[in-house]
Structure 1
Amino acid sequence: MTAGVYESYGYLTPGVDFPAIELAPEFGRVPPYAGGLSELERERAERLLRDNIVISLHDHPVRFPADMRQTPEYNRTGRQHTAFAGLLASGMTVVFDNMMDGTACVTGNAPWRWLDIITDLGMRQADIAHQSGVIVIRTMDDIEHAHRSGKVGLLFGLEAATPIENELDRLDVLYGLGLRQIGIAYSDANALGSGLNETTDGGLTDFGRRAVARMNRLGLAIDISHSSDRTGLDVCAVSERPVFMTHAGARAVWDTPRMKPDDVLRAVAETGGVIGMSAAPHTTLSEAHPRHTILSVMDHFRYCLDLVGIEHVAFGPDTLYGDHVGLHTVFGHLLKVGAAAPGGPSFEKVEYVDGLENPTENFHNICGLLVQEGFSDSEITAVLGGNILRALERIWA
């Protein structure tokens, strides 16, 4: 723990104002990644992190219960605890923070309810307002301010627009409350389009087309990571702004529905958008590295780089503070994120993704590997944040 750093909801008393639940630590939950960097490589990597704007296109920078089985009880409090100390040690400038998302079961047992999402969005910002090291990002100027002042910015988003139901104006409400990025659909279909687990891919609905137009006009960045293939293609075809795939990988590298085929990856790039490499456990595997580590993720990165060009790739590790594999076990019936489909490739299950276990370590290790593999400074700064900045300038214009 960093001395003197505000702890989440420090203005309240645990056990009195909300249940006291033991949370996972921000540091040292698993052994550090042994990257084998030389001293010169480490110094160069840390300089690149320090001197440039570094953006995670997708993460959950919050602490979960030490016993992941307590997560439903924890989330019912409406108070996920931001990992302030961990963020300040991460080397990141901005995190696309997707909050509780499919685990937002504050008032019931099903996710994506409007009131639950609003509670989550408001509660997190109430907490952030009581400290000064982390700020909320709403504009390009906010990003520049975070970088100049050494703060970390949280850019709030949702992995699915399911909570708007069939009410277009709810997009305006979410934008007004600070949301700046939104997905189309998660595993299940909604009023906008099909999710990636639907057996029948209906693509983007007429309402979904109107929603995309409203997102463009508002300046809401659009994410198709959990959308079906056809829905993703439809979104790219109708959006007038760059489209993000904030956290996914290439199906040509690992053949599962969670990964995206080449035509969808190309479509994202053709909008001027960016593809973020995910590291959620047992997703971005590869035949070369079927035991999920940072090396598996880099196989997807290199494939996408060759397919669409370095200006359209980045990283959205999709990590958190706690047992992510355990989270998938507890919420498997809602998240539907299993890596294996019937007849799909086999793989070795892991307890955590070595090298990309939490938001504190991710970009130190990513940048170190990029340095180690001989990427230039300009290439590294592009994939660490420059590509995302370029797209946001068009989306938020």
Structure 2
Amino acid sequence: MTGTPMIINALGQLDNPNAPQSLAAAGDLNASGEQLTVDARTLTEARASGLTAVNITLGYVMGDLPPYEHTLHEIDVWDGVIARHPEDLLKVTSVADLHTAHRDGRIGVIYGFQNAEAVGDDVGRVATFAERGVRVVQLTYNQANRLGGGSMAPADTPLTAFGREVVDALNERHLMVDLSHSGERTCLDAAKHSSVPVSINHTGCRALTDLPRNKTDEELRLVASRGGFVGIYFMPFLNPTGHACAADVVEHLVHAVNVCGEDHVGIGTDGPVTAIDDLDAYRASLAEHVARRQEAGVSAAGERADTFPFVVDLRGVEQFRELIRLLERRGWSATRIEKVMGRNFVAYAERVW
């Protein structure tokens, strides 16, 4: 490939998981912004990786914190992080910002939710979140909420009447409706109800690995047919053993392109650029973390103490370039690779934002 492609991670982390105060090493989605570590290594390695922009998770996902208040607090925290690093980071609220980040060599930060619980019972909060710069809202996490079913709820749990109201509000405010983690019927219902194309920003293909966090061909095809976007993650759910490797990422991308077409598929790694340095020490903390998630009832089938929540041979600064090399070896054209690495997300954003 020639030139520098746009690399947009439809769901990832911007953090140094090796820092003592960081909880991201254990994948704790409920860590508050102050506990993340956006340090010099984080920024240097993110830029060195070629990353153009990343949709980060902020706000309430699970746990005992007050969803709305915690979410507003985390928006404040991230606004502060970006304000302290203007040479490295750019808050993305428009498609133009994606192009600016690419041109300037900065990292675009897209504010996104992995649970719409912070909406509470007040659809008007969607407008508040939009005004604060949120651009992606995932309807559910793994469990059911008042909008619909998560991946671990019964598969026939529908999008609720309130869920339809929230989708309408997200459409009106030009926010992405993300159906990652949703159950099958909720996903299909939302994709059909939405007047704007929807996305599944981080998932795998159920046809290859039959786990609830992965999406069926019916879900993938419907989202794509309505102009949406599907991001493939670098997660253990890509392999039935739980020990996914780079080759599995390639196979799921190939399958997704075969089902959705090459204009509707991208990447949503669900991880950071900076790799964990000491995997042996990490294993101990991972076992405790998985046990906590299982006890809280928020884990997904396929999460185990002996499976890393990332792909070991596709991480660190070279992860995107290595994926490009693997796709080239698979015979993909430069144009298709550029689409999947970032251009498809930009095109989808143009249809929504």
- Report the TM-score, using the length of structure 1 for normalisation: 0.77
Q: Which one of 313, 324, 327 corresponds to residue 265 of structure 2?
A: 313
Counterpart-to-counterpart distance in 2, 1:178 and 1:349:
35
Q: Compared with structure 1, are the counterparts of its residues 187 and 193 closer, same or farther at alpha carbon in structure 2 (3 Å cutoff)?
A: same
The aligned counterpart of 1:118 is 72
Q: Any stretches of 5+ residues in structure 2 without a counterpart?
A: 277-281
Q: Counterpart of 2:84 in 1: which secondary structure? A: coil
Cα displacement string for residues 36-78 of structure 1 (whole angstroms, at most 9, x for unaligned residues)? xxxxxxxx4xx45x2x222111101212355758887x93574
Counterpart-to-counterpart distance in 2, 1:244 and 1:94:
17
Contact 2:112 / 2:137 at 8 angstroms: preserved in 1?
A: yes
Q: Which one of 130, 133, 142 corresponds to residue 88 of structure 2?
A: 133
Within the alignment, does 1:64 sit opposite 2:17 as a pair?
yes
Task: Provide the aligned C-alpha RMSD in A.
Answer: 2.7
The aligned counterpart of 1:15 is none
Matched letter for residue 15 of structure 2: V
Q: Which one of 232, 240, 248 corresponds to residue 296 of structure 1?
A: 248
Cα displacement string for residues 72-129 of structure 1 (whole angstroms, at most 9, x for unaligned residues)? 7x935744222222211120111111136536xxxxx525711112111210220210
Q: Which one of 27, 45, 62 corresponds to residue 86 of structure 1?
A: 45
Q: Counterpart of 2:249 in 1: which secondary structure? A: helix
Contact 1:159 / 1:184 at 8 angstroms: preserved in 2?
A: yes
Matched letter for residue 389 of structure 1: V
Contact 2:135 / 2:175 at 8 angstroms: preserved in 1?
A: yes
The aligned counterpart of 2:279 is none
Cα displacement string for residues 233-273 of structure 1 (whole angstroms, at most 9, x for unaligned residues)? 01110111111100001111001111111111111111111
Q: Which one of 333, 357, 361 corresponds to residue 318 of structure 2?
A: 361
Counterpart-to-counterpart distance in 2, 1:100 and 1:62:
16
Contact 1:102 / 1:111 at 8 angstroms: preserved in 2?
A: no
Matched letter for residue 328 of structure 2: V
C-alpha deviation, 1:393, in angstroms: 0.7
Which stretch of structure 1 is more off in the superposition, 167-176 or 115-124? 115-124
Q: Compared with structure 1, are the counterparts of its residues 368 and 330 closer, same or farther at alpha carbon in structure 2 (3 Å cutoff)?
A: farther
C-alpha deviation, 1:274, in angstroms: 1.2
Matched letter for residue 250 of structure 1: C
Q: Which one of 84, 89, 99 corresponds to residue 58 of structure 2?
A: 99
The aligned counterpart of 1:22 is none
Q: Counterpart of 1:129 in 2: which secondary structure? A: helix
Counterpart-to-counterpart distance in 2, 1:122 and 1:209:
28
Counterpart-to-counterpart distance in 1, 2:107 and 2:269:
17
1:327-338 correspondence to structure 2 within 5 Å: 327-334=289-296, 335-338=298-301
The aligned counterpart of 2:31 is 75
The aligned counterpart of 1:275 is 230
C-alpha deviation, 1:232, in angstroms: 0.3
Within the alignment, does 1:192 sit opposite 2:147 as a pair?
yes
Contact 2:140 / 2:179 at 8 angstroms: preserved in 1?
A: yes
Paired residue total: 334
Counterpart-to-counterpart distance in 1, 2:138 and 2:66:
12
Q: Which one of 312, 337, 352 corresponds to residue 380 of structure 1?
A: 337
Cα displacement string for residues 128-160 of structure 1 (whole angstroms, at most 9, x for unaligned residues)? 101221111001111111111111101110111
1:1-397 correspondence to structure 2 within 5 Å: 44=1, 47-48=2-3, 50=4, 52-64=5-17, 75=31, 78-82=34-38, 83-99=42-58, 101-102=60-61, 109-110=63-64, 113-131=67-85, 132-199=87-154, 201-280=156-235, 282-285=236-239, 291-320=243-272, 321=274, 322=276, 323=282, 326=286, 327-334=289-296, 335-339=298-302, 349=307, 353-358=311-316, 360-396=317-353
C-alpha deviation, 1:213, in angstroms: 0.9
Counterpart-to-counterpart distance in 1, 2:211 and 2:81:
38
Contact 2:32 / 2:74 at 8 angstroms: preserved in 1?
A: no
Counterpart-to-counterpart distance in 1, 2:54 and 2:125:
24
Q: Compared with structure 1, are the counterparts of its residues 328 and 95 closer, same or farther at alpha carbon in structure 2 (3 Å cutoff)?
A: farther
Q: Compared with structure 1, are the counterparts of its residues 270 and 65 closer, same or farther at alpha carbon in structure 2 (3 Å cutoff)?
A: same
Q: Counterpart of 1:314 in 2: which secondary structure? A: strand
Q: Counterpart of 2:134 in 1: which secondary structure? A: coil
Contact 2:60 / 2:117 at 8 angstroms: preserved in 1?
A: no
Q: Any stretches of 5+ residues in structure 1 without a counterpart?
A: 1-43, 104-108, 342-346
Q: Counterpart of 2:237 in 1: which secondary structure? A: coil
Counterpart-to-counterpart distance in 2, 1:111 and 1:60:
21
Matched letter for residue 89 of structure 1: A
Q: Counterpart of 2:200 in 1: which secondary structure? A: strand
Q: Which structure has the bigger radius of gyration?
A: 1
Cα displacement string for residues 269-289 of structure 1 (whole angstroms, at most 9, x for unaligned residues)? 111111111113x211158xx
The aligned counterpart of 1:35 is none
Matched letter for residue 81 of structure 1: T
Counterpart-to-counterpart distance in 2, 1:99 and 1:296:
28
C-alpha deviation, 1:337, in angstroms: 2.7
Contact 1:225 / 1:247 at 8 angstroms: preserved in 2?
A: yes
Contact 1:93 / 1:146 at 8 angstroms: preserved in 2?
A: yes
